[in-house]
Amino acid sequence: MKHIVVIGVGYVGLTTAAFLAELGHHVTGVDMDEGKIVLLRQGRIPFIEPELPELVERNVRAGRLNFTTSCQKAMPHADMAFICVGTPPTPSGHADMSQVEEAARQVALAATQPLIVVLKSTTPPGGNAERVAAILASHLSPGMDAPLVVNPEFLREGSAVYDTFHPDRAVIGAWDSAAAEEVAALYAPLRCPVLLTDPASAQLTKYASNAFLATKISFINEISRIAERVGANIHAIAQGMGFDERIGAEFLESGLGYGGSCFPKDVLALSAIAEQQGYYSQFLHAVTDINAGQCSLAVEKLGDALGGFHGKAVCVLGLAFKPQTDDVRESPALSVISMLCRQGAVVQAYDPAAMSTAQKVLPPHAALEYCADAYAAALGCHAVLIATNWPEFRSLDWSHIHSSMAGKAVMDGRGLLSPDEMRGMGFEYLAFAN
């Protein structure tokens, strides 16, 4: 059993803290956001993530997991500190390392015994791990040691707990092999492949993985543009490709493209890393450009079907960047709503989980109304646009929706509905290459 401190209890930190506690370690989660810590101490989770509330509650009750705003109070007796703070993009696309550097400084200043510092935040190679190690070394008490281990996270929001307990691999990058082995030992109960490597390779593995998944999405969206021109069906194509195990069936869903706090920022950061080293990655820029075009394409198709948006009401179903979360960071749904409002539409929006997070981010607009449910959102509209693939949208009473609308267009931005069924009910079904 180890004493572990987790700095930053957002999506990654809170899941990591609860996971480590479940394995039997004594874990303290630290966050500078007092509101988050107050909620967690009341047994509540600051965001929506399946299975996480139960996992946190069980471990708090067992006395293995607690929370504080004070790194200083948490650090005594810590054998390990996990840094899980944000690395948002700067205006130039680089990863902003300031939260990581500050967390490293706080950990080193508060440490009272030698410990291992594990960097879980996504950080670019090319000097950042070296800088964090130098910050640790320069703020520790004399004679103390805190080797740095880079251990990037691969969980997905919406299935964070499942992914954490069933990882495809653990990637561990360190200069100190004893420290690397100690971190590897944490993952032993999971029986997953463990890759021991150097810090730069671990860092780049994380960026390369996210960029590859983003590439699959942009690739299928590029193919859908070609498919549409030759009258082919993108879902059949994706299925046909996915049977080939070398390609794999996942991440071939075409639609509004990828959003979220990671793919957009990590592809940009990888381009920025390359450019900093004098290499312009045409490939990564193409991935971003194709993705950026998908929302405009959907709005354009709908605008053509409606003969423009002036005087038209559009129901947008979905605000979160993906289902099973209330996270709206870089959500394609919000881009679509902004475009529709700009082009003169009245928007009636609904999401099963992300209404309040969206309202905090989207500027209030006279033409934007948040509705109590999908039926209220569709009432009197000329069109429905599916922006997030929440499974429950599939099982709505679509014939009831059909009779309550002023028009009959449905733009299925996530390939969620059956085109034949929708057309059979009298909808004008629009999608990408269908």
Ligand X SMILES: NC(=O)C1=CN([C@@H]2O[C@H](COP(=O)(O)OP(=O)(O)OC[C@H]3O[C@@H](n4cnc5c(N)ncnc54)[C@H](O)[C@@H]3O)[C@@H](O)[C@H]2O)C=CC1
**Residues near ligand X, by CB under 6 A:** 7-13, 30-33, 36, 84-87, 99, 102-103, 106, 121-122, 153, 155, 157, 261-262
Quick one: 147 or 255, whose CB is closer to ligand UGA? 255
Which residue is closest to ligand UGA by CB?
262
170 binds ligand UGA (CB under 6 A): no
Q: Binding of ligand UGA at residue 270 (CB under 6 A)?
A: no
Determine if residue 251 is labeled as part of a ligand binding site: yes
Residue 155 annotated as part of some ligand binding site: yes
CA nearest neighbour of 150 among 201, 210, 192, 105:
201
Known binding residue 265? Answer is yes
**Least distance from ligand UGA to the Cβ atom of residue 206, Å:** 7
Span interacting with ligand UGA, options 155-163, 305-313, 352-360, 419-427, rule CB under 6 A: 155-163
Q: How far is the CB of 336 from ligand UGA (least distance, A)?
A: 12
Residue nearest ligand X (C-beta atom): 10
Residue closer to ligand X by CB (options 321, 429) is 321
Q: Is 315 a catalytic residue?
A: no
> Largest Cα–Cα distance in the chain?
76
Pairing outcome for strands 194-197 and 116-119: unpaired
Nearer CB in complex with ligand X: 33/289:
33
Q: Counting beta carbons within 10 angstroms of the beta carbon of residue 294, is it exposed (0 to 12), middle (13 to 18) or buried (19 or more)?
A: buried
Consult the annotation and say whether 253 binds a ligand: yes
CA distance 189 to 144: 30
Q: Is 154 annotated as a binding residue?
A: yes
Q: Which is nearer to ligand X, 35 or 278 (CB)?
A: 35
157 is in an annotated binding site: yes
Least distance to ligand UGA from the beta carbon of 221, Å? 8
321 binds, among ligand X, ligand UGA, none (CB under 5 to 8 A by kind): ligand UGA
CB of 297 to ligand UGA, least distance (A): 13
Residues 312-331 that bind ligand UGA (CB under 6 A): 321-322
Q: Residue 211 or 314: which CB sits closer to ligand X?
A: 211
Token pair, residue 12, equals: 């990654």
Task: List, edge to edge, every strand of the sheet that includes 409-412.
Answer: 368-370, 346-350, 313-317, 383-386, 409-412, 428-430
Q: Which of residues 194-213 bind ligand UGA (CB under 6 A)?
A: 210, 213
Q: Is 222 in the site for ligand UGA (CB under 6 A)?
A: no
Taking the complex as a whole, how short is the minimal distance between the CB of residue 180 and ligand UGA, in angstroms? Answer: 21
CA gap 25, 64 in Å, rounded:
7
- CA separation for the pair 9, 182 (Å, rounded): 22
Residue 257 contacts ligand UGA per CB under 6 A: yes
Which residues, listed in sequence order, are joined to residue 315 by a DSSP beta bridge? 348, 384
Residue of the chain from 105, 156, 285, 402 that contacts ligand UGA (CB under 6 A)? 156
Chosen from ligand X, ligand UGA, none, partner binding at 428 (C-beta under 5 to 8 Å by type): none
Is 28 or 325 the residue whose CB approaches ligand UGA more closely? 325
Smallest gap from Cβ 125 to ligand UGA, in A, equals: 16
210 binds, among ligand UGA, ligand X, none (CB under 5 to 8 A by kind): ligand UGA
From the list ligand UGA, ligand X, none, partner contacted by residue 348 (C-beta under 5 to 8 A by kind):
none
CA angle 126, 132, 138 (to 5 degrees): 135
Active-site positions read 262
Q: Which residues are annotated as a binding site?
A: 31, 36, 87, 122, 154-157, 206, 251-255, 259, 265, 322, 329
Which positions lie near ligand UGA, rule CB under 6 A? Answer: 122, 153-157, 210, 213, 217, 251-253, 255, 257-260, 262-263, 321-322
Q: Which residues are annotated as a binding site for substrate?
A: 154-157, 206, 251-255, 259, 322
